[in-house]
Amino acid sequence: MYFFRRKIFIPLLCLIIFLPVVALAGPGRTGAQILNLGGGARARALGDAFSAMSGDVTTSLWNPSGLADMPESKFRSGRKAAQASMFYTDYSAPFGEAGEGLYYTFISGAMPLGDVGTIGATLQLQGQGTIAVTTDSPDILREESLGTNFALTFSYADRITESLSAGINGKMIRMVLGRESGSSYAVDVGMQYLLPFEPIPTTLGVAIQNVGPGISFIDENQADPLPRFLRIGTSMSLYRAKYHHIRLVSGVTAYIDKLAEDEHELTVDLDRLNAEREEKLTQAQLLSDRGVGIRAFEWRHLQKNLGLEYWLGNLLAIRVGYKIEPGINLPNLTDYFTGGIGVKVYLFNLDLSYGPSFGPNNQRLIEATGIIVF
């Protein structure tokens, strides 16, 4: 069985890794921003350092291989538990009246199938709010909905060896822009490996997400590429005793949606920029500034994530996280920090997260995830 799984997953992983190399990205933009949102209050509280985590149904949004190690069921001895969860974020408070109808939510589930592996599904929904429709006067005729974006993901994960697990997601994406809409599809693939480091059990996670064709609303020649990521992370069990467990998680994310640049567009942009500069930019400098190709792995272009989780028994978790997003300079050091708690009561898990200041009203987001384990 292990040999069969390796024959399936390893060639598939190579295909997903090398397929994007031949693709050209658009003019520095990505579409389908719903794929950027991730989710899960536990991940949020840990600074989105979740690519090496497992046993949680929400890991499918970060690294599908995390579904391979589900916890044991309380009802079926020796069998892994199924999980269902719901996550919700209301953006109306940070944006005030302009945020009416803005929200993000997902519903997910995962079911272990014994030796066959684990299957799962996730539905993400993003409400885009409303817009006031007027004529030549400032009087509002009506409020018109901007529509709801969605992404439907089907997942499969399994353990290939005792130390290595792998997973894959298939996604269908639909975006709405007023009365126009566009659709696409994408694939994620990920692996997690338990390093042979006995003093501190450490898992290494790697995932490539959102490999697929661009999304367009009118003209396929003007399609925006999907937000393609490469996530690398670790999960370290620093201390574990009967009633205490401390875990340190970390990660970096490279935005690899722009693997090459159109030569003509690059030349035009370089001439335009140099016309206004005394010190001329070189082509290499412009590519570096844009994070094109291998330059996406420069430290300044990487998203950095760090989190610490403490469990008291199997009842209460306290979490803190730290996240740096490239290109976003927040005014206060505290804006880079996140936090949250988790509570387990019999079959129910409730995770809450407290994020950085957000929106014009500079309010902090409180997000919640409910999980049922059965």
Q: Supply the mean pLDDT for the chain.
A: 86
Q: Considering only CA atoms, which of 159, 238, 169, 170 is closest in space to residue 193?
A: 159
Encode 101-115: b = buried (16+ Cβ within 10 Å), e = exposed. bbbbbbebbbbbeee
Q: Considering only CA atoms, which of 21, 27, 23 is closest in space to residue 264?
A: 27
Percent of the chain with pLDDT over 70: 84
**Residue pLDDT, tens place only, 114-158:** 889 999 999 999 998 877 666 666 666 567 778 899 999 999 999
**Residue pLDDT, tens place only, 285-337:** 989 998 988 999 999 999 999 999 999 998 999 999 999 999 877 777 778 89
Q: What is the pLDDT of residue 361?
A: 64
Domains and CATH numbers, the chain: 2-134+141-264+300-373 (2.40.160.40)
Which of 5-14, 60-69, 266-275, 347-356 shows the lowest mean pLDDT across its residues? 5-14
Q: What is the pLDDT of residue 57?
A: 95
The H or E element containing residue 323 is strand 316-324
C-beta of residue 61 within 8 angstroms of C-beta of residue 42: no
The band of 220, judged by pLDDT with boundaries at 50, 70 and 90, is: low
41: tokens are: 């209050």
**Residue pLDDT, tens place only, 105-123:** 999 999 999 889 999 999 9
In this structure, is the dihedral angle defined by the CA atoms of residues 276, 331, 27 and 149, taken in order, positive or negative? negative
Burial class of residue 91 in the structure, from the number of CB atoms within 10 Å of its CB (0-12 exposed, 13-18 middle, 19+ buried):
buried
Burial class of residue 68 in the structure, from the number of CB atoms within 10 Å of its CB (0-12 exposed, 13-18 middle, 19+ buried):
buried
